[in-house]
Chain A
Amino acid sequence: MSKVDNESPTPPEVANSQVPERSTRSIEILVAVCFVISVLATVGLAVTYWLGGQPQVEGGLLFATLGGIGVGMVAWGKYLVPQGPYVQERDTIKSEILERQALLESLDRGSKAVGRRPFLGKLMGASIALFGLINLFPFLRSLGPVPKKALTTTPWRKGSAVVGPDGKQVTSSTLEVGGVMTVFPSNDVGGAISQTVLIRVGTANWTTRPGRETWGPLGYLAFSKVCTHAGCPVGLYEELTQQLLCPCHQSLFDVLTGATPVFGPAPRPLPQLPIYFDSNGNMHAQAGYDQPVGPGYWERP
């Protein structure tokens, strides 16, 4: 902003002390040095590249190469060419009133000629709209299947064998008390929605809630590992507090009461998977999850 003093000029000696005379000679030298640095750095860059490259050296040399050109050009453009200030008047943006009227007339002329046949106009509109609509549908539809049951069910079924990430069958002795692991149904190892966290909280059957008396044999509890908030794997188990922590937004689930959320944004408990041990001590699912796992969606009842 201009701060020209209208009332009294700054005393000359003050003005002089604040605006050092800049000699164009020294600027010319500066600009030349910048360009020379740039050339040298580019040569260095070529050599580095030829020798096989090294990220830090490349970054540094690129900095010098580009920076040399840049500072040289800016200095040249700022101190060695006329700066004005120049004044340019603005064009009026809007057109003359006659110009606008002429536009309206031209528009009108066309609309009248076309408007004479309203039926054809509607027919044309309808055919284009129909084309758009009908073609949009298969295009969208080919992008993916419709959801159907994919969101409500998981690959867990009655009797599914419970296996670890390596595909090994989980048995009654797989975990120590306080141990935790991720398990899957044997037909979907590594599956994103069937991932289940298995925790051993004790050695006796554990009932998390009324109606779940048989769900936790020998202190093993299995919960969906998909966070009910935004779907992250609920990966961290704190044995001391018997809580599961979701690292994404810090929701905490209380394991012993059925993974009810006690902190953070998660709105619902993690669904519990009912499990049992067969006569050989191998773990199976009594049934699939009794509700959709993971975060909510519109159709979720």
Chain B
Amino acid sequence: MITQTTDWFDERLGIAKFTRKSLNKIFPDHWSFMLGEIAMYSFVILLFTGVFLTFFFVPSSKLITYHGAYLPDRGHKVSEAFASTLNISFSVRAGLVMRQMHHWAANVFIAAIIVHVCRIFFTGAFRKPREINWFVGTGLLVLAIVNGFLGYSLPDDLISGTGLRIAYSIVLSVPVVGSYLGFFLFGGTFPGNAIIPRFYTLHILIIPGLIIGLLTAHLAIMWHQKHTQFKGKGKTNRNVVGVAMWPAYAFQAGGFFFVTAAVIAALGGLVQINPIWLYGQYVPYRVSYAVQPDWYMGWLDGALRLMPSWEIQAFGHMIPNVFFPAVLLPGITFTLLGAWPMIERKITKDYEEHHLLDNPRDVPWRTSLGVGILAFYVVLFFASSTDVLANSYSLSLNFVLWAFRVLLFVVPPLAAFVAYKVASETGAVSTTGRRKRILIISRSSEGEFSTTETALRAPMHEEVIEELPEEIRYHAIKDGHEELASAIAVGAPSGGSTISTNDVDLGPLQSGGTGVYQIPRTPRGGTGDPRGRISRRDKRE
């Protein structure tokens, strides 16, 4: 049956070779590689839940009299967008869960992207040849934030409407073209009737379309270039060591999609988010206290608050206050982020290909720079709750504001300094990051205690990457094509294949392709040659 199917396809598409190669693809195994996966899976969940929402959401700001299930709003004038969101929340079966899952997935999506970017940054995974994927990734981050904001604006509630008003002012503040930009984007003065239908088209079609395009490119490039991997025994700049795509990786990754979905479902069902019925319909002259955007907008909100009340007025023109924190700052942020691979190359003059990752502590300067920059945005993020902080700790608003203005410039260098110290000092200690050794504590006859490590360790830096040691006995994988297998296993000493019972051959790759070898595992209990051993617990650290 399977033979028939594969033959059917192969005779029409000629895919046997490519598919085979893909099934045998090797994926390095490290938890931090899952961050990008979480982002991708959350996006898939956004698509599913989003399509569900489109069946019920009405993208219109036309005012109607509400007659729905939410009693406090009955008889009030609300927009169709607001009414349909109430309808999704109270009348559509499973509607509230879907809506909340959609919102939670958006938050998880962006959080996962940001942590993923940090992983790429701190390990130097963006270096040649992976610069293109860094650019694509920066684009994805921006699009995700923009689409999150657009979606947040759709229900037409008081908080999102206020956010839109601020967004309009930010667009207006762009020098030279700002007012035209604002008028074309919003269809005239604020609020108008065009925003919600327009943002709807952007939110469900255009931006997701762009995201899908970029995401496809991102994955295709990664597939083609293969993953990076951390340094370790047997790992070189010219190979990939890990689990095979089929079946181990496919099962792990597929299962992990469901795990991500399960967590988002639990959040969506159990943790309330954006209860718009408590905020009410957006009315331009009303405002609620403690307006707070979704978390990924916090840094911009914080920057708007901390900016001194300056404004440039000259030659009959104006550069408004919000331009600096809300146009210039994000502009610089994303430009520098996107350009980082080039900037770093200017500094390091490193034109080599890198497939082995840096341990962050081995590159203290980059690590401390990254930590300092992150600290800057973290301070901005916390600054978006100046009013809440002032209230909860009964401080004066003035004090809190000035404290944050000072912190904004004090915390980043401090954090960078600490990071530098930690990185360079732990980098210098040979045992940092290693599995704890068992200490044998003995007491001498005089009553003094002494400790002995169970075994001596080679100094950290000598263990860094070497070519595959000779003693590791590979075996080229056979599936009946003995001659092929030995032809492929160039450089791998023939014979001697001790594999544990659980491991199975992957089969040879097509001739001329890259070889897939298996590092034999010594049977547990350590009877084999320990020098050639990569046991599972070792590998997973």
**Which chain A residues have a beta carbon within 8 Å of chain B's beta carbons?**
1-12, 14-16, 18-19, 21, 49, 52-53, 55-60, 62-67, 69-78, 81-91, 93, 140-141, 143-147, 150-151, 165, 182, 190-193, 195, 225, 229-233, 235-236, 247-251, 261, 263-268, 294-301
Contacts and interface: CB of A to CB of B under 8 A. Distances in A.
B258 interface: yes
Contacts of B531: 4, 6
Interface stretch (B68-76, B408-416, B509-517): B509-517
Given A4-B233, A144-B194, A70 B255 contact: yes
A10 B176 CA distance: 70
B318 A70 contact: no
Contacts of B456: 7-8
B444 interface: no
B243 A298 contact: no
Given A14-B438, A83-B536, 13 more contacts: A1-B359, A60-B266, A60-B269, A72-B255, A84-B518, A85-B243, A88-B26, A89-B240, A144-B186, A235-B285, A247-B288, A250-B387, A298-B175
Given A1-B231, A73-B258, A225-B285, A18 B537 contact: yes
B1 to A, nearest CB: 22
Contacts of B182: 147, 297
A295 B259 CA distance: 46
B239 A195 contact: no
Interface string B450-465: 0000111110000100
Nearest to B268: A59
Contacts of A19: 524, 535-537
In the complex, which of the residues B260, B309, B433, B514 has the most CB atoms of chain A within 10 Å of its own CB atom?
B309
Interface residues on B, range: 35 or more
B266 A58 contact: no
Contacts of B285: 165, 182, 190, 192, 195, 225, 233, 235
Interface in B275-303: 283-291, 301
A82 B248 contact: yes
Contact of B541 (A3, A16, A88): A3
Contacts of B434: 3
B525 interface: yes
A297 B318 contact: yes
B256 A70 contact: yes
A147 B179 contact: yes
The list of the 7 closest CB pairs from A to B, nearest first, reads: A59-B269, A77-B251, A73-B255, A70-B258, A296-B320, A2-B233, A2-B232
Contact of A4 (B178, B250, B513, B538): B538
B244 A82 contact: yes
A2 B539 contact: yes
B513 to A, nearest CB: 8
A56 B269 contact: yes
Contact of B519 (A57, A85, A267): A85
23 contacts: A1-B232, A6-B531, A10-B526, A15-B524, A53-B93, A56-B270, A59-B267, A60-B269, A66-B261, A73-B254, A78-B251, A83-B536, A86-B26, A87-B468, A87-B474, A87-B516, A88-B239, A89-B240, A144-B183, A247-B291, A248-B166, A265-B304, A265-B307
B322 A295 contact: yes
Nearest to B464: A1
Nearest to A147: B179
Interface stretch (B12-20, B54-62, B500-508): B500-508
Contacts of B524: 15-16, 19, 21
Nearest to B387: A250
Contacts of A233: 284-287
Contact of B234 (A8, A85, A236): A85
A16 to B, nearest CB: 7
A126 B248 CA distance: 56
Contact of A9 (B94, B530, B541): B530
A5 B458 contact: yes
Contacts of B185: 143-144
Contacts of A190: 283-285
B249 interface: yes
Contact of A86 (B194, B225, B269, B506): B506
Contacts of A58: 94, 97, 269
Given A60-B270, A236-B289, A248-B287, A77 B250 contact: yes
B353 A230 contact: no
Given A90-B238, A93-B129, A296 B318 contact: yes
